[in-house]
């Protein structure tokens, strides 16, 4: 084990990390050679030297290609994380050398953060024009691995259940209810009072199975004797939901702030759902901490949450500020 410690601390290089990730990605030395612009013998030699230096077999040669061993899986996972940190350092150094003040990479859950994030970005650019931002939309399932690997600094949206957080740290930003919405032309929008049974004849826009809202929504509708018809659309795209509500008699479940959209106004049905989801908030990897740019973005998100609350008073309330490991 002393030899392993020595090799990891002295001899392991960034090129070894890139080699491991490339072999794990392509599982074929010919393809690895093509993308790394070296010969196949050179790739094979580098891998052999790495395995010999560590004293561990990192890959098994199989009919399906090069498959990582448990040792390989372990080292590849850390190699991806270390390369992400190096890329982050590169981006920050480039930003500093070009006169910029930094860069922050944000993952956004569009269904819950599409109002909050634009407010926060506007505040960030007012306070620090030289801080540049990359925003990537996605689902919890796609964004949290990117946050863990270090390819994202923050993820903004509905907070996942606490037992799924692991080493992620969170800050609650906004307690935003989930409401039932239609287009303003919808037949139900012309009724002053509604019963749950009035919903039974209309089609739905639903979050897909497996999303954090689908199961609690189904339970809430079932409790009110509202069966989901066979006529529905499943999507997490807020753009699809907005557009379809404008031209159809569908019912959708959306964040309360979206009902007051001045460009595409909607009608909020006067039926109360129980609290189906946790608040909207921001997550980061506590093992990595926050860069100054990311810290500034968190501050802007907190300020933006107050703006959203002020603009949509009556449907929202501020969330308690809390951190959970």
186 shares a domain with 47: no
One domain for residues 159 and 299 = yes
Burial of 154 (0-12, 13-18, 19+ CB in 10 A): buried
pLDDT digits (tens, 9 = 90+) for 60-111: 988 888 999 999 999 998 898 888 878 777 777 776 665 556 789 999 987 7
Q: Is 89 within a domain?
A: no
Tell me, what's the pLDDT at 322?
Answer: 46
195-239 pLDDT, tens digit each: 999 999 899 999 888 788 888 899 999 999 998 878 999 998 888
Structure confidence at residue 259 as a pLDDT band (50, 70, 90): low
On whether residue 324 sits in a domain, the answer given is no
Final residue in a domain of this structure, among 47, 81, 115: 81
In a domain, 233, yes or no: yes
Taking the alpha carbons at both ends of the chain, their separation in whole angstroms is 32
Residues 200 and 262 in one domain: yes
Structural domain that includes position 313: 100-176+280-318
Tokens 């949509």 locate to 312
Query: Do both 141 and 154 map to the same domain?
Result: yes
What lies within 8 Å, CB to CB, of 50 at 6+ separation is 16, 19, 20, 58
90 in a structural domain = no
Q: What is the pTM of this model?
A: 0.64
User: Do 112 and 159 fall into the same domain?
Assistant: yes
Assess if residue 95 is contained within a domain: no
Please tell me whether residues 169 and 284 are part of one structural domain: yes
CA-nearest of 75, 86, 84, 63 to 24 is 75
- Rounded Cα distance between 118 and 301, Å, is 9
The domain that contains 55 carries what CATH number? Answer: 1.10.10.10
20: Cα separation from own chain's centroid: 26
CA distance 240 to 177: 20
User: For residue range 125-177, what is the model confidence (pLDDT) as tens digits?
Assistant: 999 988 889 999 988 888 988 898 888 999 999 888 777 667 789 999 988 78
Query: Domain count of the chain?
Result: 3
Q: Domain check: are 77 and 9 in the same one?
A: yes
Does 172 share its domain with 105? yes
Residue 68 pairs with which residues in a beta bridge?
Answer: 59
Do residues 54 and 198 both lie within one domain?
Answer: no
Q: Given a cut of 90, is residue 301 above it in pLDDT?
A: yes
**Average pLDDT rounded to a whole number, residues 35-60:** 91
170 and 310 fall within a common domain? yes
Question: Which of 81, 108, 142 lies at the terminal end of a domain, its last residue?
Answer: 81
Is 86 part of a structural domain of the chain?
Answer: no
- Which CATH number characterizes residue 127's domain? 3.40.190.10
Q: At what angle do helices 14-26 and 29-36 cross, to 10 degrees?
A: 130
88 located within any domain: no
Inter-residue contact 290 to 169 (CB < 8 Å): no
Quickly state the pLDDT bin for 120 (edges 50, 70, 90).
very high
Rounded Cα–Cα distance for residues 190 and 223 (Å): 25
Does any domain span residue 50? yes
Residues 44 and 191 in one domain: no
Q: What angle do CA 211, 217, 222 make, to 5 degrees?
A: 140
pLDDT band at 296 (very low <50, low <70, confident <90, very high): very high
Residue 9 sits in the same domain as residue 124: no
More confident residue, 89 or 251: 251
SS (HEC) of the chain = CHHHHHHHHHHCCHHHHHHHHHHHHHCCHHHHHHHHCCCHHHHHHHHHHHHHHHCCCCEEEECCEEEECHHHHHHHHHHHHHHHHHHHHHHHHHHHHCCCCEEEEEEECHHHHCCHHHHHHHHHHHHCCCEEEEEEECCHHHHHHHHHHCCCCEEEEECCCHHHCCCEEEEEEEECCEEEEEECCCHHHHCCCCCHHHHCCCCEEECCCCCCCHHHHHHHHHHCCCCCCCCEEECCCHHHHHHHHHHCCCEEEEEHHHHHCCCCCEEECCCCCCCCCCCEEEEEECCCCCCHHHHHHHHHHHHHHHHHHHHCECCEEECCCCCCC
């Amino acid at each position: 084990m002393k030899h392993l410690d020595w090799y990891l601390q002295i001899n392991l290089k960034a090129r070894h990390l890139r080699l491991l990730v490339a072999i794990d990605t392509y599982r074929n030395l010919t393809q690895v050679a093509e993308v790394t612009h070296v010969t196949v013998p050179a790739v094979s030699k580098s891998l052999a030297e790495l395995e010999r230096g560590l004293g561990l077999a990192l890959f098994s040669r199989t009919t399906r290609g090069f498959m990582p061993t448990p040792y390989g899986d372990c080292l590849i996972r850390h190699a991806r994380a270390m390369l992400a940190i190096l890329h982050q350092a590169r981006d920050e150094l480039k930003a500093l050398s070009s006169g910029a003040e930094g860069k922050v990479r944000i993952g956004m859950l569009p269904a819950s953060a599409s109002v909050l994030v634009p407010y926060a970005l506007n505040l960030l650019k007012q306070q620090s024009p030289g801080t540049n931002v990359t925003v990537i939309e996605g689902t919890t399932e796609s964004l949290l691995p990117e946050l863990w690997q270090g390819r994202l600094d923050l993820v903004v949206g509905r907070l996942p259940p606490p037992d799924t957080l692991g080493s992620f740290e969170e800050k609650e930003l906004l307690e935003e209810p989930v409401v039932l919405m239609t287009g303003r032309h919808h037949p139900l929008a012309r009724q002053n009072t509604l019963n749950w049974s009035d919903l039974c004849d209309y089609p739905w826009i639903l979050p897909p199975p497996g999303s954090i809202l689908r199961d609690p929504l189904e339970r809430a509708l079932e409790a009110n004797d509202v069966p989901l018809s066979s006529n529905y659309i499943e999507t997490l795209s807020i753009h699809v939901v907005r557009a379809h509500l404008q031209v159809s008699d569908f019912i959708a479940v959306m964040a309360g702030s979206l009902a007051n959209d001045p460009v595409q106004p909607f009608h909020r049905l006067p039926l109360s759902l129980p609290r189906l989801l946790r608040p909207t908030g921001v997550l980061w990897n506590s093992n990595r901490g926050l860069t100054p740019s990311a810290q500034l973005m968190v501050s802007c998100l907190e300020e933006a949450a107050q703006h959203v609350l002020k603009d949509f008073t009556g449907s929202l309330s501020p969330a308690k500020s809390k951190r959970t490991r």
